Amino acid sequence: MKILHTYCLNHNLGDYALGIGVKNILRRFLPVELIAETNLQGQVFNEYYIENVVNLKYDLLVIGGGGIIHGAHWPNGWFWLIEKELISKIKIPFIVYGVGYNYFEGEDGIPARGISHLKETLLRASYFSVRNDESLERFSEIFGESVFEVPDPGFHVNLNRQFLCSEKEKFVLVQLANDKPEFRFNNDGSSNKFVADMRSVVADLAKRYKVILAPHVFEDIELCESVSIDIDNTEVWDFSKYAFDRVSDCLGYYELAEFVLAMRGHGQIIPIAFNTPVIALENHPKHRGLMRKLGIDDYCVSVDNPNVLDLTLSKVKLLEMTRDSYVRKLKGINSQLEGATKDAFVTVRKSLNLSSELF
SS3 string, 123-156, reads HHCCEEEEECCCHHHHHHHHHCCCCEEECCHHHH
241/133 Cα distance (integer angstroms): 30
Q: Is the dihedral of CA 298, 300, 302, 303 positive or negative?
A: positive
Residue ranges of the alpha helices (H) in the chain?
13-29, 47-49, 55-57, 112-124, 135-143, 181-184, 188-205, 220-228, 239-242, 248-256, 265-273, 285-294, 308-351
Domains along the sequence of the chain with CATH:
2-158+336-351 (3.40.50), 171-333 (3.40.50.2000)
Q: Is the dihedral of CA 133, 243, 9, 183 positive or negative?
A: positive
State the SS3 of 65-117.
CEEEECCCCCCCCCCCCCCHHHHHHCCCCEEEEEEEECCCECECCCCHHHHHH
Query: Rounded mean pLDDT of 37-55?
Result: 98
DSSP state of 170: -
pLDDT tens per residue, range 243-260: 999 999 999 999 999 999
pLDDT of 190 reads 84
Q: What percent of the chain has pLDDT over 90?
A: 92
pLDDT of 358 reads 62
- The predicted model scores a pTM of 0.96
Q: Is residue 189 very low, low, confident or very high in pLDDT (cuts 50, 70, 90)?
A: low
pLDDT tens per residue, range 129-140: 999 999 999 999
pLDDT of 257 reads 98
Q: Is residue 359 very low, low, confident or very high in pLDDT (cuts 50, 70, 90)?
A: low
pLDDT of 185 reads 85
Mean per-residue pLDDT of the chain: 96
Q: Is residue 228 very low, low, confident or very high in pLDDT (cuts 50, 70, 90)?
A: very high
